[in-house]
Amino acid sequence: METVGEGGMHMHTVMVVEDEAPIADIVRFALEREGYQVVVATDGAAALDAFRTQPPDLVLLDVMLPEVDGFTVCREMRAASNVPIIMLTAREAEVDKVLGLELGADDYVTKPFSIRELLARVRANLRRADLFDSRANEEARERISVHDLVIDFNNYTVTKRGQPVPLTHREFELLSYMASRPGVVFTREQLLVQVWGSMYEGDERTVDVTIRRLREKCEDDPSNPSYVLTKRGVGYFLRRPS
């Protein structure tokens, strides 16, 4: 993926997965007006097909879809790619938000949403992904080893005893943010603002969910972590390299 300059050299492609035609039309119109290329899929199977043949830069994924549901689509896309995925969930459906994040979604927007909010989320997620890619291209970044865990900033990978640990953008950013100052405890509020941005203010459970996912992927025993540690009553920190 290229980085977008002020001149907009690279047009981002957004895939909209939504079975309700009126909503899909409104979203498509709004995105096209902002200069995005839009691909609409009206069911999960079509979305996965299009995803393979024409990989988008971002996916807007409705949870409630006929046949293959949005969570399944999310899991399959995430297994194949680290493209930003924003889930569209029913209002107040907390379980949807948490499940989406567990399955590797980067973000969620609750229905009914305002187009303005949706566009802001799309922009923020694309910006983060572009930044991530451009940073990944930088030369001479260092790596940090925390015992068996190696965080490589040069190619944005994490390995554990030589085996790759597959992380989403957000998980990698959370881990690498804590790795920027190993041993220093960060509060949930700090992590939320630094890794997710101020739009997430007050949603500190998002940090806990992502920490849990990180531990499931990085730790030998996620319930007794040895890398991503909790400072009770304060927040989280990465164990200092020995």
* 3-state SS, residue 86: strand
Nearer to Ca ion, 64 or 136 (CB): 64
By residue count, the chain amounts to 242
Least separation, in Å, of the C-beta of 18 and Ca ion?
6
Is the peptide bond between 112 and the residue preceding it cis, with omega within 30 degrees of 0? Answer: yes
Least separation, in Å, of the C-beta of 27 and Ca ion?
12
Nearer to Ca ion, 20 or 201 (CB): 20
Nearer to Ca ion, 65 or 158 (CB): 65
Nearer to Ca ion, 19 or 204 (CB): 19
The b-or-e profile of 120-138 (16+ CB within 10 A means b, else e) is ebbebbbebbbebbeeeee
Least separation, in Å, of the C-beta of 64 and Ca ion?
4
Nearer to Ca ion, 45 or 124 (CB): 45
Nearer to Ca ion, 93 or 144 (CB): 93
Please give the order of strands across the beta sheet that includes 228-231. Answer: 186-187, 235-238, 228-231
Cα–Cα distance for residue pair 147/232, rounded to 1 Å: 23
Cα–Cα distance for residue pair 236/95, rounded to 1 Å: 24
Q: Which long-range contacts (CB under 8 A, 24 or more apart) does 231-237 make?
A: 231/185, 234/185, 234/187, 235/185, 235/186, 235/187, 235/188, 235/190, 235/191, 236/178, 236/185, 236/186, 236/188, 236/191, 236/207, 236/211, 237/178, 237/182, 237/183, 237/184, 237/185, 237/186
Least separation, in Å, of the C-beta of 86 and Ca ion?
14
Report which residue's Cβ sits closest to Ca ion: 64
Least separation, in Å, of the C-beta of 44 and Ca ion?
11
Least separation, in Å, of the C-beta of 37 and Ca ion?
22
Summarize as ranges the residues that interact with Ca ion (CB under 5 A).
19, 62, 64
Residue with tokens 């101020």: 198
Least separation, in Å, of the C-beta of 75 and Ca ion?
18
Nearer to Ca ion, 63 or 101 (CB): 63
